[in-house]
Amino acid sequence: MTEDRNHKWLGRLKWFSSEFLVVVLGILFAFSINTWWEGVASDSREEGYLADLQLDFEENEYRLKDAVAVADTVLIAATELLRLESAQAGRAIGLDSLTYLVETISLLPTFQPVTRTYDDILGAGELQTIKNSDLRALLADFHSQLLLVDTVEETQERQFVQLFIPYIMEHLDYLSLANFLPGEAAPPNPKHAETIYEVLGTRAFRNWIVMRYQWAEDLQSQHDSVLMTVEEIRELLKAE
């Protein structure tokens, strides 16, 4: 009787152990399938993010190189103006050339970054989806650099509007108006064009040219620094 009872309990234990093992294996299998599927989905999202980042940073590189080139133009124009130390030197190159040089030093090189994909990644809380830690670090570095560039650009724009434009409006009426009037507006009286010759070589005018040179050089340095980071990011993206 005792042996029969033990036999029955042993049979039930074996059955329970088998059922338990099946349940555990089922859970483990389901967990592994879920983990695998999440990995596949994560890889798919990463692939999409990397493709979009490539497009964004291709455009960022183009825009930065354009900003650097504009700064080069400003630097060259400022250098040319500094060589003109008298009205006679200005008349030698002609009014059209002087107009071009003054309009050129009035340019403000700026960089409008493309950050859509990175903003989407951060907004979705999926930065870790980008598995390459070096790439993640460079992306963060790029966006921290943007804060400095934005500050420098805003500062220079404020200085330009509040200081430089009032100066050229007072001393270079024809040139300043010709540069800022809308295309459909009537041109200013050409007799005011001669005012450029009156200020060439003066200490105040040359100081302004030097300041415009320094502003362009400073901003170009900032853009060059960001461009180096962008080029590094593009190299890593190409390797992915």
Domain boundaries in the chain? 2-239
Angle between helices 2-83 and 203-239 in degrees, nearest 10: 150
Q: What are phi and psi of 127, to 5 degrees?
A: -60, -35
Write out the two tokens for 185.
């507006």
Over residues 68-100, the pLDDT tens digits come to 999 999 999 999 999 998 888 888 988 878 888
List of long-range contacts for 137-146, beta carbons under 8 Å, 24+ apart: 138/229, 138/232, 138/233, 138/236, 139/53, 139/233, 141/229, 142/226, 142/229, 142/230, 142/233, 143/115, 143/118, 145/222, 145/225, 145/226, 145/229, 146/113, 146/115, 146/226
Task: Please state which of the ranges 13-22, 138-147, 187-196, 230-239 shows the lowest mean pLDDT.
Answer: 13-22
More confident residue, 175 or 230: 230
Residue 14 has a pLDDT of 59
For the cut 80, the answer to whether the pLDDT of residue 6 exceeds it is no
Greater confidence (47 vs 41) lies with: 47
Q: What is the pLDDT of residue 26?
A: 59
In this predicted model, what pLDDT tens digit does every residue of 115-166 receive, in sequence order?
Answer: 999 999 998 888 888 889 999 999 999 999 999 999 999 998 898 888 887 8
At residue 37, the pLDDT reads 47
CB of 135 within 8 A of CB of 237? yes
Reported pTM: 0.76
